[in-house]
Amino acid sequence: MMDHSLIKLIHVSCVALSLVGFTLRSALMLMGSPLLRRRWMRTLPHLVDSTLFFSGLWMAWNLHQYPGTTPWLTAKLTALIAYIVFGAMALRGRTRRRRYLSLVAAYACFFYMVGVALTRNPLPWS
């Protein structure tokens, strides 16, 4: 069985890779780069984000903390869903205004998730 600290390292590394990847894709989108249409540019984020998601599930399982019964984990999972929706809207929105607003909302969700994870509190600023 894998050590919890190794799973956490994988999870935190994927958090950083996800942020860097989203930022890179956002910059390329804003510049109108054709690089976004490359197969690896569309596939790699899914691999990173899937690893991030499953390592998070694995850690929750190991710690016996589950969404719906643990408020901070429920908040983090809800923010994850919002991050995915806003991120998709930011990268595929029809208007530039919608893309910018969705981009800001996606980053807000991301940093909220990090705050919740670090404090284990659904209101990390309190």
Contact 11, 55 (CB under 8 A): yes
Give the pLDDT confidence of 22-71 residue by residue, as tens digits.
999 999 999 999 999 999 998 999 999 999 999 999 999 998 998 889 99
User: Do the Cβ atoms of 74 and 116 come closer than 8 Å?
Assistant: no
The predicted pLDDT at position 67 comes to 86
- pLDDT greater than 70 at residue 1: no
Phi-psi bin for 32: left (phi > 0), alpha (psi -120 to 50), beta? left
96-122 pLDDT, tens digit each: 999 999 999 999 999 999 999 999 999
Give the 3-state DSSP-derived string for 30-81, with helices as H, strands as E and coil as C.
HHCCHHHHCHHHHHHHHHHHHHHHHHHHHHHHHHCCCCCCCHHHHHHHHHHH
Whole-number Å distance between alpha carbons of 103 and 93:
10
pLDDT at 2 over 90: no
Confidence class of residue 126 from pLDDT cuts 50, 70 and 90?
A: confident
Q: What is the pLDDT of residues 67-97, one digit of tens each?
A: 889 999 999 999 999 999 999 999 998 999 9
